[in-house]
Amino acid sequence: MTQARNTHASPAPLPAAEADLDRRSIRARTEPMTITALGDAIYEIGTEHGTTYLVDLASNRCSCPDHTYRDVRCKHLRRVAIEITEGRVPPPGKLAVECDVCGEELFVDERTVQEESHYCETHTLEPGAFVRDRETGDRLLVVHVSDRRADRVRIGESAYSVATYPNNRSYDPTDSVVGAVYPQSVEMTGRGPEPDELRVYSFPYSRLERIA
């Protein structure tokens, strides 16, 4: 008979601690916070009241009073976890940077964040990619992506660098130099494909736009 009585009993109120936890997870989701990954698994949290806390995911600690004094899993720790899971904040080991061409936010390995240029998937050029020359509309095939800057690569024996060459001056002089060929310069002959001129031309990275 004990069982029957229990079935009809009104639901027990949530224990205080659990109700507290519930409220915390709602606040963790809904309160306005700005989260910035600083590297080394440290995240800076800006609250709507202008307070700044640091969350360290390596040790699962937060500098807020809720965590420091009450030793609970505070809303900041929760929020960082949520934002990472949902892809809005970089996970530990990565940092947010902007694509050099379109400004889209992307996450890169924190060890490579000092590199001069970062590109989103659409704007990543690699050998074999077809591209459009933004100046002329010509279609080219990328054969080489160098790690040298446009302002440090000279064009032949001229006084120009890739950055100062006419038509290249409106592009970032720190762009990487990309080598590309005109695929229409390859001619099909009885002996197979024969390039009549397979010269590799140098371009500042952002002058070339990837095409499908």
Residues that bind Zn ion (CB under 5 A): 62, 64, 67, 74, 76, 99, 101-102, 104, 120, 123
Q: 197 is written with which tokens?
A: 């001129």
Q: How big is the chain, counted in residues?
A: 212
CA–CA dist 163, 6 (Å, integer): 80
Taking the least distance from each CB to Zn ion, the nearer of 48 and 157 is 48
Work out how close the CB of 54 gets to Zn ion at its nearest, in angstroms, rounded to a whole number.
Answer: 9
Work out how close the CB of 65 gets to Zn ion at its nearest, in angstroms, rounded to a whole number.
Answer: 8
Taking the least distance from each CB to Zn ion, the nearer of 154 and 210 is 210
Taking the least distance from each CB to Zn ion, the nearer of 142 and 181 is 142
The DSSP call for residue 142 is E
User: What are the b/e assignments for 130-144, b being 16+ CB within 10 Å?
Assistant: ebebeeeeeebbbee
Work out how close the CB of 123 gets to Zn ion at its nearest, in angstroms, rounded to a whole number.
Answer: 4
Work out how close the CB of 38 gets to Zn ion at its nearest, in angstroms, rounded to a whole number.
Answer: 15
Residue given tokens 């600690």 in the structure block: 61
CA–CA distances in Å: residue 131 to residues 5, 37, 39, 163, 192: 75, 34, 34, 19, 24
Taking the least distance from each CB to Zn ion, the nearer of 78 and 149 is 78
